[in-house]
Amino acid sequence: MCECKRMLCGLTLCLVLVTFTTGCWNRREPENLAHALGIGFDICDQGYKAYLQLSDSLGEETGGNGPQQDNFTSSFWALSATGRTPYEAIFNTAPFLTKELSVAHVGIVVISEELAKKGISPVLDTLERERTLRTTTRLFILEGDMEKMTQAQIPLESVSSIGISRAIGTIERERSILPVKYATTIIDCLAQPGKEPLIPKITLIDESDIEESSEEPNPKPPLKISGGAVFKGDRLVGWMDERETRGWTFLTNMTRRAVMSVKLPKSPEDPEDAEEEYLTVVISQVETELKAKKDGNGSEFALKIFADGRIEDKTAPGDFLRDRDKVASMNRRTAAAIQNDITKALKKAQSLNADVFGLGWLLYRTQYKQWQQVEDRWDEIFPNVAVDMDVRVDIRRSGLVNRVGAVK
């Protein structure tokens, strides 16, 4: 009986104690916090300028099914301050805030073009060091005005930072037009020999009339998330457009899905002035094998790509079921399209002399002795590096029909 009572007492005590573990574990009450969801950094005369996109910690939670969302009006506040260091700049927003600033929920960090040209190391250092900021945030380089960007309202989103970090997941899965990376990857990339970072790019659209457009019945898209910013060390040296970025993803084995439009050959019976006809192939399941050639003195590489694809549409009639040669030709053409993308990306990187593919790093990893010989001259070698490409595409299915419908 006594044993039983003790057990009961123990259990009750456990249950009582459990209640203390729920909810907030310290005295920082949610109603006293202002959560920054995204941070932008720019340079100014004083040093750094930080733009915070703040959300009311209570509003964000309840806003989910409130009336706010239906009108797509924003529920954030953009605030900026300057400082001599990035951290000081963030901290200097304090006088304007009535609540305690929390940076634990920062999902994206956007860096302006000017700051990127000066060097992003100080910002990365803040990200690494501060205990509530995370290295799993996403980093972007902005082409356009930072202030407008932080104030921009993306339709269908209440806070643009949240929208952008959500978009990243989608882009990574289905578009291959953005070099998707965590800040950790970029930090690591800077430290690796023979590898330069390619950082996702945000382009601000129509800078002049964002405010007007938000009052129009159908708002224009305020920004575009695609392409990459090419870095040399921690400094921005140029941009890669969508096709070049796609080439980069093919070369670095980062492609998950790519939509390629492939030009169809003209048949002899077509008239001279016939329009170009296209075929859309969706590439999935890409396997990239990049090797440094053993006898290449560090300047020759061999690339093998095996890609699977499927047909999504076709603008001209044709039958793949009975004509096997056509399938082979289509495979070759898609492969050539991929090869073109890679060549474009390689040319751009070589013209900027920034090894964003990590070809030097590949040497360092796999042929360390060779790398030691070329290490000091890598800047001279990289612009003339040759990559032998062997791209094989297998288009294995044509969707739910196997030929274009007849028009009679």
Partner 1 sequence: MIGEGQIGGRQLLLILFIMRATIGIAFLPIVTVAGPMEDAWLAGFGAAIGSALIALVVGSLSSKFPTQTVVEFAQELLGTVFGKIVSLIFLWVFLFVAAVDVRMYGEVLVTAFLPETPLFFVIAVMVVVSSYAAYQGIEVMGRTADFIFPVFVLMILTTTVAAVPSINWGRLQPIAAKGIRPILRASITPTFIALQVMTLPVLLPRVSKPEKATAYAVWAVVLASFLLIPTSIVTIGVLGADLASRSVFPFFNLARAVRISEFLERLEALVVFPWGLGLFVAVSIYLYCGAKSLAQVLNIKDYRPLIPPMAVVWVAMSIQVSADMFELGRFFLPEVLGPFALTLIAVPHGLLWLAYGVRKLKKKGN
Q: Which residues bind partner 1 (CB under 8 A)?
A: 128, 131, 134-136, 169, 182, 184-185, 187-188, 191-192, 358, 361, 364-366, 368-369
For partner 1, the closer of residues 140 and 364 by Cβ is 364
CB of 144 to partner 1, least distance (A): 27
Q: What is the distance between the alpha carbons of residues 228 and 361, in angstroms, rounded to a whole number?
A: 20
CB of 377 to partner 1, least distance (A): 19
DSSP H or E stretch at residue 352: helix 324-352
CA triplet 213, 178, 382: central angle to 5 degrees?
130
At 276, phi and psi to the nearest 5? -65, 140
For partner 1, the closer of residues 184 and 284 by Cβ is 184
Q: What is the DSSP string of 337-349?
A: HHHHHHHHHHHHH
The 3-state DSSP class for residue 226 equals strand
| Residue showing tokens 């909810």 | 23
**Encoding tokens for residue 112?**
């302006």
CB of 208 to partner 1, least distance (A): 35
The conformation of residue 238, written as its DSSP 8-state character, comes to E
To 10 degrees, the CA torsion angle through 32, 35, 40, 46?
20
CB of 365 to partner 1, least distance (A): 4
CB of 128 to partner 1, least distance (A): 7
CB of 311 to partner 1, least distance (A): 32
Q: What is the distance between the alpha carbons of residues 69 and 53, in angstroms, rounded to a whole number?
A: 17
For partner 1, the closer of residues 5 and 129 by Cβ is 129
CA triplet 295, 297, 299: central angle to 5 degrees?
110
For partner 1, the closer of residues 169 and 221 by Cβ is 169
Q: What is the distance between the alpha carbons of residues 310 and 260, in angstroms, rounded to a whole number?
A: 10
CB of 104 to partner 1, least distance (A): 9
Residue 231 identity: F
For partner 1, the closer of residues 191 and 407 by Cβ is 191
The 3-state DSSP class for residue 257 equals strand
For partner 1, the closer of residues 227 and 358 by Cβ is 358
For partner 1, the closer of residues 135 and 261 by Cβ is 135
For partner 1, the closer of residues 1 and 191 by Cβ is 191
Q: What is the distance between the alpha carbons of residues 202 and 224, in angstroms, rounded to a whole number?
A: 6
Q: Are 254 and 176 in contact (CB under 8 A)?
A: yes
The 3-state DSSP class for residue 116 equals helix
Tell me the sheet residues that pair with 79.
52
For partner 1, the closer of residues 103 and 146 by Cβ is 103
CB of 332 to partner 1, least distance (A): 31
CB of 166 to partner 1, least distance (A): 8
